[in-house]
């Protein structure tokens, strides 16, 4: 059949893409094949309960890496999965409930969990379909979900092991607590925002009647939790009254004046009230001076029974107003001044974080024993080059981060997630940790009165174990073969949340780095360089784009003109340009196909002998050079540059120059020139295939009709080398 009538003038992505994907998937080529070098990439799991967003479209980089590896004959294994995204999903789900006039408290705990599970599973099929439509060559026969029983078991077993090794402990300290979401957070989940506030000066009279001390505070409502007033040891203004007692306003309680280095004599009045239960500094001062701690704010952000009756049950803000009014009335308020400070807020809802004394499970990141020093183990892996970081500058970011690493709070007061396998004894209050099974008795005193910890793990604790937990889920031979993974490709924004934790947990728990390289891409922004967010109405939905311009166009637009770690603007005109490129490839292919319709020469899979045409010879040389250049860039992780190079080469050298110059040869019977042309096209399609898989595969299928020796799919064709 003549190609001319067979092939439409324009690349028809709409009708071509889905059948091609089905063909790939059914071929089994997405699964690791043969016995080449193992090359695994774990898909950073998208949130199962959300639709795909433009950030997920950046998985294109992984697809490019995996498709090239596959063509290079490696055992390419790209592992798909979805994330239960504990807290994130619970927030979304609760918002949905709120719209229905319900809350999670309308469910019992299991009922709620089941409802979220159903909701999540429901959405999961949507996101899988969306990932497929992006052309991603993921091995769907090995799909994981972060709450798969085996993964859950692995996470609990790790917790037990870390606990037994002394790296997990029950920390009695202040935690970052969001009173709206009713859960604690790690330091990472707290955002600091500059806020203009007031600094009040309060008069605390000395009990011996010899005077008073004026303290400066931004939080007068915590006054009932004060257990001391602190001044700097060298501050001569106060040296004579250190160790004297003062009477706490609005109460009958007396507290001491103490001296501590922490106090900045130049700030405020040089005297600060110490509220160990509600301030991180004060907590430390209290532990140095052995001061008691009195909690006056409860988990809902209201004053509790430790406050005088008049204030109990008031939320922080009204309580503050009431207390200030009373202090003023009784002459304790000396004055106030404006004051800018950075206030800790919940990264999700913006509620001011309340530091509260709640015991939680912590992972100890430093230890005197080098074999247990997680922070140093992680550092060493990167510093020594066992893990390559791309771009390089993030290596410094990583190392600096590890230097400042602090113990990690693993507990979340959330219902959706993996329950922490710990039980508290009603008798001795000690904790018994297992790998999941309910313990028969308390490890400490043998009592049978055990209560399970109601908390769940921080999602990142489980996701940080995915590199091995997922492989183990598939079977021990997978861990054996594919660990460590070839590369972890993700956004630079989660270097600290996720990548760092995967590294040190992988090294400690499995004795080897989880991946050999980390590739960090930048964030996608709108044309003005602003972050995309639903509330700004500047989001680009990847599926709308692919429907309009084709998947290949979006894929090119995402990687070309971008370098790792650098944020990148995305807008429609840019994508349109790459739609034109898809079409250019299509038409170049169409032209070659129609020109060679009657071709009966040697296969296109090998370069021809020296041809009769000088132009054909130049073409072969040129394609060889282009192949070298593309490989050189790709070997240096320069995916964007390689893409741009191939774009430019194909369009302006192959098409504009060689196709034009070879037109005369195609009219005649210069078989050598024709073979050179067919060969060159095949090579270029292969080089382009990881970037624009659909249009290249579509053409390849037609090219095979001229040359049955070509592989069945370009997806598994031999990668061009020189």
Partner RNA sequence: GGGCAAUUAGCUCAGUUGGUUAGAGCGCUGCAUUCACAUUGCAGAGGUCACUGGUUCGAACCCAGUAUUGCCCACCA
Out of 64, 85, 246, 272, point to the residue binding RNA (CB under 7 A). Answer: 272
Lookup result for tokens 């507990």: 411
Window 329 to 368, contacts with RNA (CB under 7 A): 339, 341-342
Please report, as residue ranges, which positions from 504 to 533 form the binding site for RNA (by CB under 7 A).
Answer: 525, 527-529, 531
Of 215-223, 373-381, 426-434, 713-721, the window that binds RNA (rule: CB under 7 A) is 215-223
Among 680, 697, 664, 686, which residue's Cα sits nearest to residue 604?
A: 680
216 binds RNA (CB under 7 A): yes
**Structure-token match 């060969």, residue found:** 679
Q: Are 569 and 676 in contact (CB under 8 A)?
A: no
Query: Is the Cβ of residue 436 or residue 561 nearer to RNA in the bound state?
Result: 561
Instruction: Kindly state whether residue 651 participates in binding RNA, applying the rule CB under 7 A.
Output: yes
Q: Kindly indicate which of the ranges 24-32, 280-288, 678-686, 704-712 contains the residues binding RNA, using the contact rule CB under 7 A.
A: 280-288
Tell me the closest approach of the beta carbon of residue 494 to RNA, in angstroms.
Answer: 10
Give residue 176's Cα distance to chain centre: 21
Closest CA to 248 of 225, 218, 271: 225
* Of 716, 690, 717, residue with least CA distance to 30: 716
Could you say whether residue 652 binds RNA (CB under 7 A)?
yes
Write a three-state SS string for 221-267. Answer: HHHHHCCEEEECCCCCCCCCCCCCEEECCCCCCEEEEEECCCCCCCC
Figure out which of the listed residues 579, 599, 670, 675 binds RNA, where binding follows CB under 7 A.
579
Mask of contacts with RNA, 283-302, x by CB under 7 A?
Answer: -x------------------
597 binds RNA (CB under 7 A): no
- Residue 17, classed as helix, strand or coil, is helix
| Residue 188 contacts RNA per CB under 7 A | yes
Distances (CA, A) of 331 to 225, 317, 319, 327, 328: 20, 21, 18, 6, 5
Q: Which stretch in 410-418, 511-519, 569-577, 614-622 sits in contact with RNA by CB under 7 A?
A: 569-577
Using CB under 7 A, pick the residue from 47, 49, 546, 583 that binds RNA. 583
From the list 15-23, 441-449, 616-624, 653-661, the region that binds RNA by CB under 7 A is: 653-661
Positions in 4-43 near RNA (CB under 7 A): 9-11
Sequence-ordered list of residues with C-beta below 8 angstroms from that of 198, at least 6 positions apart, any chain: 218, 336, 337, 338, 339
Q: Which is nearer to RNA, 153 or 284 (CB)?
A: 284
Helices 572-595, 671-688: inter-axial angle, 10-degree rounding: 150
Dig out the tokens for 663 from the structure. Answer: 């037109």
Q: Assess contact for 218 and 336: CB atoms under 8 A.
A: no
Q: Is 555 in the site for RNA (CB under 7 A)?
A: no
**Residue of 204, 173, 205 whose CA lies nearest to 186:** 173
574 binds RNA (CB under 7 A): yes
Binding part of the chain for RNA, among 74-82, 241-249, 299-307, 570-578 by CB under 7 A, reads 570-578
Select the residue interacting with RNA from 134, 162, 507, 588 (CB under 7 A): 588
Tell me the window of 22-30, 310-318, 459-467, 578-586 that interacts with RNA (CB under 7 A).
Answer: 578-586
- Residue span binding RNA (CB under 7 A) among the ranges 118-126, 277-285, 407-415, 708-716: 277-285
Cβ of residue 208: shortest distance to RNA, in angstroms?
A: 24
Window 601-620: residues binding RNA (CB under 7 A): none
Binding residue for RNA, selected from 161, 219, 312, 548, defined by CB under 7 A: 219
- Interface pattern 421-450 for RNA (x via CB under 7 A): ------------------------------
Which residue among 239, 251, 580, 669 contacts RNA (CB under 7 A)? 580
**CA neighbor of 676 nearest in space, from 629, 614, 720, 630:** 614
* Closest to RNA by CB, 443 or 594: 594
Tokens of 525: 């922004």
Tokens of 498: 């996720």
Is the CB of residue 624 less than 8 Å from the CB of residue 684? no
Q: Are strands 488-491 and 517-521 parallel, antiparallel or unpaired?
A: parallel
């Amino acid at each position: 059949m003549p190609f001319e009538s067979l092939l439409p003038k324009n690349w028809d992505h709409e009708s071509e893409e889905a059948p091609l994907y089905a063909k790939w998937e059914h071929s089994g080529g997405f699964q690791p094949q043969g016995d080449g070098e193992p090359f695994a990439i774990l898909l950073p799991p998208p949130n199962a309960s959300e639709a795909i967003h433009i950030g997920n479209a950046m998985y294109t980089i992984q697809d490019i890496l995996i498709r090239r590896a596959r063509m290079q004959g490696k055992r390419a294994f790209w592992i798909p999965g979805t994330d239960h995204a504990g807290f994130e999903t619970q927030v979304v789900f609760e918002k949905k409930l709120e719209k229905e006039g319900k809350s999670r408290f309308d469910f019992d705990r299991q009922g709620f969990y089941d409802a979220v599970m159903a909701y999540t599973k429901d959405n999961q099929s949507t996101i899988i379909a969306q990932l497929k439509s992006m052309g991603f060559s993921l091995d769907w026969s090995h799909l994981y979900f972060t709450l798969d029983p085996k993964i859950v078991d692995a996470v609990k077993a790790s917790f037990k092991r870390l606990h037994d090794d002394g790296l997990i402990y029950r920390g009695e300290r202040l935690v970052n607590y969001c009173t709206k979401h009713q859960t604690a957070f790690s330091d990472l989940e707290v955002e600091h925002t500059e806020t203009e506030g007031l600094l009040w000066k309060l008069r605390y009279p000395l009990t011996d009647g010899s005077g008073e001390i004026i303290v400066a505070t931004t939080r007068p409502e915590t006054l009932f939790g004060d257990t001391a007033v602190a001044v700097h040891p060298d501050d001569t203004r106060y040296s004579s009254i250190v160790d004297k007692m003062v009477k706490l306003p609005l109460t009958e309680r007396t507290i001491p004046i103490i001296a501590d280095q922490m106090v900045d004599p130049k700030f405020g009045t040089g005297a600060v009230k110490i509220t160990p239960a509600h301030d991180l500094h004060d907590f430390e001062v209290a532990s140095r001076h052995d001061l008691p701690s009195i909690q006056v704010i409860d988990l809902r952000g209201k004053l509790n029974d430790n406050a005088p009756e008049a204030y109990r049950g008031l939320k922080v803000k009204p309580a503050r107003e009431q207390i200030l009014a009373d202090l003023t009335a009784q002459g304790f308020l000396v004055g106030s001044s404006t004051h800018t400070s950075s206030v800790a807020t919940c990264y999700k809802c913006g509620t001011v974080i309340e530091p509260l004394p709640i015991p939680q499970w912590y992972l100890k990141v430093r230890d005197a024993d080098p074999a247990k020093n997680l922070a140093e183990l992680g550092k060493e892996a990167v510093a020594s080059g066992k893990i390559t970081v791309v771009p390089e500058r993030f290596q410094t970011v990583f190392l600096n981060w590890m230097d400042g690493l602090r113990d990690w709070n693993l507990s979340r007061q959330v219902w959706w997630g993996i329950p922490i396998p710990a039980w508290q004894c009603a008798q001795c209050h000690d904790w018994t940790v297992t790998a999941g099974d309910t313990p028969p008795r308390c490890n400490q005193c043998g009592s049978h009165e055990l209560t399970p910890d109601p908390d769940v793990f921080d999602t990142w604790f489980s996701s940080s174990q995915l590199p091995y937990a997922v492989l183990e889920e598939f079977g021990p031979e997978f861990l054996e073969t594919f660990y460590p993974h070839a590369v972890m490709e993700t956004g630079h924004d989660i270097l600290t949340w996720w990548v760092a934790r995967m590294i040190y947990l992988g090294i400690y728990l499995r004795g080897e780095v989880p991946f050999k390289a980390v590739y960090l891409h930048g964030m996608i922004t709108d044309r003005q360089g602003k972050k995309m967010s639903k509330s700004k109405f500047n989001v680009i939905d990847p599926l709308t784009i692919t429907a309009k311009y084709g998947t290949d166009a979006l894929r090119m637009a995402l990687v070309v003109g971008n370098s790792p770690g650098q944020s990148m603007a995305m807008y429609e005109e840019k994508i349109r340009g790459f739609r034109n490129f898809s079409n250019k490839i299509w038409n170049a292919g169409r032209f070659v196909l129609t020109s060679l319709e009657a071709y009966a020469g040697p296969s296109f899979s090998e370069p021809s002998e020296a041809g009769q045409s000088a132009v054909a010879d130049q073409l072969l040389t040129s394609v060889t050079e282009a192949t070298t250049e593309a490989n050189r860039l790709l070997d240096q992780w320069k995916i964007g540059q390689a893409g741009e190079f191939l774009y430019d080469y194909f369009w302006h050298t192959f098409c504009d120059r060689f196709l034009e110059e070879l037109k005369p040869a195609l009219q005649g019977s210069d078989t050598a020139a024709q073979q050179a042309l067919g060969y060159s096209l095949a090579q270029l399609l292969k080089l382009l295939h990881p970037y624009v898989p659909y249009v290249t595969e579509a053409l390849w299928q037609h090219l095979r009709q001229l040359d049955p020796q070509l592989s069945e799919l370009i997806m598994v064709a031999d990668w061009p080398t020189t």
